[in-house]
Homo-oligomer: A and B are copies of this chain.
Amino acid sequence: MAFWRLKMRFECNQQLLTKALNIVSKAVTSRTTIPILKGILLEVSEDGKLKMSASDLDITIEETVEIEAGVSGSIVVQSKLFGDIIRKLPNATVSIELIDTNVVIKCMNSEFSIIGLSADEFPSIKNIEENPDYITFDKAILKEMIRKTSFAASVDESKGVITGILIELLNDEINMVAIDGYRMAITREAMVNLEEKNVIISAKIMNEISKILSEASEEEENVKLLLNDKKAIFIIGNVKVVLRLLDGEFIKYKDVLPKDNKIKVKVSRSDLMESIERASLLSKEGKNNLIKFAIKDTIVTITSKSEEGNVREEVLINKEGDDLDIGFNAKYVLDVLKSIDDEEIYMLFNTSITPCLVEPISGDSFEYLILPVRITNN
């Protein structure tokens, strides 16, 4: 350990530290047996800035914090204990100093001394400095695109690329796609991109990014995304998130979309959602959560039953095409309806054994595909 590391010292406001710790600690995994990965790296640079970082090897989060006075150096502290201490200190100036291998934390009438771990053991993060090109997102739009797709990715970690969200950069738009074999979610936004490129990022990590977008500095409206073949970096104000891209070929999702839709149903999203929520109270748990749609003239009748009883719900619709009986897993339909904000939607059907497509009344900002459940008429 180099001698200069032993001198680290800085002062910073307690609220600023707490805010940064809340963000950075999202990269700390509780599941690891490697002590250093439960830590947060504190680095005070020669030019008087504090960088805090944490990593679970899949995702690394760094935040740069303004400090009041500092002596350069670095140390790793246990994330949970250090976070609890800082959060419980009063809103005042906190002084943090490295004395031997102990981190001494002082604030008003409190003084803590906790054990530090050598910064040398901490996994280093290689940035993508070679490629200075980046994509700029509006924060709110990125959050929305994540919300509208991530739920449809597979949660089975053995499933490879389909645990991820495909980000498709086209000349004039960006698409995000997730699919788990039972349903598919597609969102589209107009956006000018310098080069066409596809990357796949873990849906779990995209949900973390979404949380960071909510918490990170409010002044910052934009998010930068830097990409190379292996990694992506999101830059949100003072926060930098480095993550590994998922390797492999994504499903050719356009081939899955039905070309022909003989039945077109226009329905109030909230009416349909509330009816399915009620009907699902009696769709037997543990089984496939089956609800049946009987689409006939101007009404869709939704039914469900279990040993405890049965339910019938009626929702008004506008229909083009034939009548149809079709079954669904209530959860898959509800996930889709919850992720949409539009008051009215189109549901497109062909037969009782082909997927249902959910689309907006106008435009093509989203598209959802839901596989039906085969029903027997009893």
Contacts and interface: CB of A to CB of B under 8 A. Distances in A.
Copies of this chain: 2
Interface in A308-325: 308-315
Contacts of A110: 275, 278, 311-313
- In this complex, the member of A89, A277, A309 whose beta carbon has the largest number of chain B beta carbons within 10 angstroms is A309
Most buried by B among A81, A112, A275, A312: A112
A113 B313 contact: no
Contacts of A114: 282, 308-309
A123 interface: no
Interface in A295-317: 307-315
A126 interface: no
Interface in A86-137: 88-90, 102, 109-115
Contacts of A350: none
Contacts of A64: none
A274 interface: yes
Nearest to A281: B84
A85 interface: yes
A286 to B, nearest CB: 15
A78 interface: yes
A108 B88 CA distance: 51
Nearest to A104: B309
B81 A115 contact: no
Contacts of A307: 115
A312 B85 CA distance: 12
A111 to B, nearest CB: 5
Nearest to A109: B314
A3 to B, nearest CB: 23
B109 A315 contact: yes
Given A84-B281, A281-B81, A281-B85, A309 B275 contact: no
B308 A278 contact: no
Contacts of A274: 88, 90
A38 to B, nearest CB: 12
A277 B87 CA distance: 11
B313 A88 contact: no
Contacts of A278: 85, 88-89, 110, 112
Interface in A234-292: 274-275, 277-278, 281-282
Given A110-B275, A274-B90, A115 B311 contact: no
A85 B277 CA distance: 10
A152 to B, nearest CB: 24
A113 B277 contact: no
A78 B308 CA distance: 9
Nearest to A106: B312
B309 A115 contact: yes
A115 B111 CA distance: 63
Interface of A: 78, 81, 84-85, 88-90, 102, 109-115, 274-275, 277-278, 281-282, 307-315
Q: Which 5 A-B pairs have the closest CB atoms?
A: A114-B309, A109-B314, A112-B311, A111-B312, A88-B278
24 contacts: A78-B308, A81-B281, A81-B309, A84-B281, A85-B278, A85-B281, A88-B274, A88-B277, A88-B278, A89-B278, A102-B309, A109-B313, A109-B314, A110-B275, A111-B311, A111-B312, A112-B278, A112-B309, A112-B310, A113-B309, A113-B311, A114-B282, A114-B308, A115-B309
